Amino acid sequence: MTENPPSRQAWVILVVGVLSQMAATVAITGPAFLIPYMHTDLGYTLTQAGTVATAPSFGLILTLIAWGAFADRFGERLAMTLGIGLTALASGLAVAVVGSPVWMVIVIAASGAAAASVNSASGRVVMGWFPRHRRGLAMGIRQMSQPLGTSVAALAVPPIAAGGGFVGYLWFIVIVTGVMALVCFGFVRDPPRAEAAPTPVRTSTADAQPRTTSAGDADPRTTSAREGEPTPASAVNPYLNDSFLWRIHAVSALLVVPQFAFSTYGLIWLIANQHIGAGIAGGIVAASQIVGAIGRMIVGGLSDRFGSRVGLMRVVAIGAVVLVAAIGLISLTPMPVVATVVFILASTVSVADNGLAFASVAEAAGPKWSGKALGTQNTGQFVMSAAMGPGFGALVTVFGYPLSFAIIAIAPLIGLGVIPKKDLDRIT
């Protein structure tokens, strides 16, 4: 059976989705690279500078689900255009309050809250335009935008700040996000809706019973008492009919634990535990981000080829358990070369599930709920990542690196038991 290829419009949407997410990521992560300038040039205390740096993420967490609901109700084009446009506006307003740490926190948090629209809506629009047999690859490519955006911020923000200070950075964000607002308005098209027809619930197993979901519960399609016809699955709250979405959210939160342990403490581990020079260690971390981004795309493509998201998610979880445990063993004694290789592999595996989970969430939620579900998915991951900052630091302080990584390996191990047995698709 020949599968229809994605349309030209689908690839245009994917490119715009990647670029808009990269722009939003630069706006959200950029202030973290400005802490030295806030401290020395603006006279902020380190606490004030750190609060400003985390303000965009705080705003993001507060509005992810709301933006997802907005996209479900009013469409992705309006959500992306309005959100990224408001990010530009908030960044422009921040120029006027640079001298006030309190107002900077408020306005920069508003910038992150607006940028959250892209996190929820761009994934939704990509899923809507691509057929199922290419969604894994498409979402893998889309999920590359976040590490790539962070890399752009790391490379671009310090020299911009060195030349123009915090104000120069803010105008840079105004230009980038303002241009992307115009691009979203001009090129994003909401995916075609097929709400009149019943939406089948499809599992990844060809001989699966049509009335059974991946969790073994009753098919969420209901029968009209008057007409005897199934109502669209998309019209039913997917969170009330089976446990699939809850389980994907849970396993994603568990798999985020090693991801953020590596991204937050990987540099200091390479330097302090493995005695690698700071410059080389920074290069290793940067390389792990790039390889991880490519890994998301490859794993997404493999899920299309094998016809299963959750099956590959299980493989990723097993790999995470093994490699995080290996990092714990390596922490017992300096082995710089081995540590470098294993760290890059572990970092890559720790982010490989990201596109799989997002594709699974959007498919299982259906067209009427995917925005809210993706917002919930993002919120859970960001909350867990915020907890990992102080949490893993406390573990290392008390137990040291070897035992701390051994404890971290328990998270993906638990995740193995949470992953559903089959995919669930309410879109196709």
Give the model confidence (pLDDT) of 143-188 as tens digits.
888 888 887 887 888 888 888 888 899 999 999 999 999 999 999 9
* CB contact set of 376 (below 8 Å; sequence gap of 6+): 64, 65, 68, 245, 249
Predicted confidence at residue 407, as pLDDT, reads: 94
Residue 98 to residues 42, 169, 177, Cα–Cα distance (Å): 8, 11, 19
Please report which confidence band the pLDDT of residue 230 belongs to, taking 50, 70 and 90 as the band edges.
very low
**Superfamily for domain range 238-425:** MFS general substrate transporter like domains (1.20.1250.20)
24 touches 149 (CB < 8 A): yes
C-alpha to C-alpha distance for 109 and 346, rounded to whole angstroms: 32
Structure tokens at 177: 């996000």
Give the model confidence (pLDDT) of 83-103 as tens digits.
999 999 999 999 998 888 889
Give the model confidence (pLDDT) of 113-146 as tens digits.
999 999 888 888 888 888 878 888 888 888 888 8
**CATH no. for 8-187:** 1.20.1250.20
Residue 23 has pLDDT above 90, yes or no: yes
The average confidence (pLDDT) of the chain is 83
Amino acid at 111: S
Predicted confidence at residue 193, as pLDDT, reads: 64
Domains 8-187 and 238-425 share a fold: yes
What is the torsion angle, in degrees rounded to the nearest 10, for the CA atoms of residue 78, residue 83, residue 89 and residue 90?
Answer: 160
What percent of the chain is predicted at pLDDT more than 90?
A: 32
> Mean pLDDT throughout 224-230?
40
218 - beta bridge partners?
A: 212
Closest listed residue to residue 352, CA positions, set 278, 255, 280: 255
Residue 205 has pLDDT above 70, yes or no: no
169 touches 161 (CB < 8 A): yes
Residue 279 has pLDDT above 90, yes or no: no
Structure tokens at 276: 């690698």
Predicted confidence at residue 127, as pLDDT, reads: 81
C-alpha to C-alpha distance for 413 and 410, rounded to whole angstroms: 5
Domain boundaries, the chain: 8-187, 238-425
Residue 317 has pLDDT above 90, yes or no: yes
Structure tokens at 194: 């097929």
